[in-house]
Amino acid sequence: MLVFDAYAWIEYFLGSNEGKIVKDHLEEKENILTPEIILAEIARKYLREGVSEHKINQRLRFIIARSETEGVDADLSLKAAKAWRKLSESAKGKELGAVGLTDGILLALAQEHDARIVTGDPHFEDLKEVIMLGGRSEEL
């Protein structure tokens, strides 16, 4: 199983080289998991960029159709907080900026499902649970 973050989906929709890697995973019919909070992150990014609500809805529905989505319950909340702490500690001194709670959710879900995260986020760079895409695109 693979866990896609917002970076992976955005690169997919851009059709970038990194997006082609994401597309390959989708076409291989791998089990894909997308945390529901990622849908909100993607919608926020596209709204800031002036993308129409219709287009945003199309993309979100595409993600829902092509992947399983999972929300955050009490158990995952605690696991995500611990994962966030782990990521924050490993980011110290690396000039990466603050680790978002969504990053903790991604890592906790990947660990819970024995899955790998598909991302370009440098906070995940040194983790074995990660398929790292190319350079970081603009801030989400």
Has residue 86 got a pLDDT over 70?
Answer: yes
pLDDT of residue 137: 41
- Mean per-residue pLDDT, 18-27: 93
> How far apart (Å, rounded) are the C-alpha atoms in residues 130 and 3?
9
Give the chain's mean pLDDT: 92
Range of the domain at 35: 2-72+113-132
pLDDT in tens, 37-75: 999 999 999 999 999 999 999 999 999 999 999 999 999
Residue with tokens 């291989």: 28
Residue 41 covered by a domain: yes
Nearest to 59 by CA among 4, 21, 1, 113: 4
Count Cα atoms within 13 angstroms, Cβ side, for 76: 20
Three-state secondary structure call for residue 131: strand
Residue 44 covered by a domain: yes
Residue 93 covered by a domain: no
If phi > 0 it is left, if psi is from -120 to 50 it is alpha, else beta; for residue 77 that is alpha
Roughly what angle, to the nearest 10 degrees, separates helices 6-14 and 17-27? 100
Residue 95 covered by a domain: no
Task: Specify the higher pLDDT residue, 137 or 59.
Answer: 59
Residue 14 covered by a domain: yes
Residue 107 covered by a domain: no
* Number of domains into which the chain is organized: 1
| H or E segment and range at residue 117 | strand 116-119
Residue 83 covered by a domain: no
Banded model confidence at residue 6, pLDDT cuts 50, 70, 90: very high
pLDDT in tens, 8-17: 999 999 999 9
* Predicted TM-score (pTM) of this structure: 0.89
CATH of residue 16's domain is 3.40.50.1010
Residue 84 covered by a domain: no
> Residue 101: what are its φ and ψ, rounded to 5°?
-60, -30
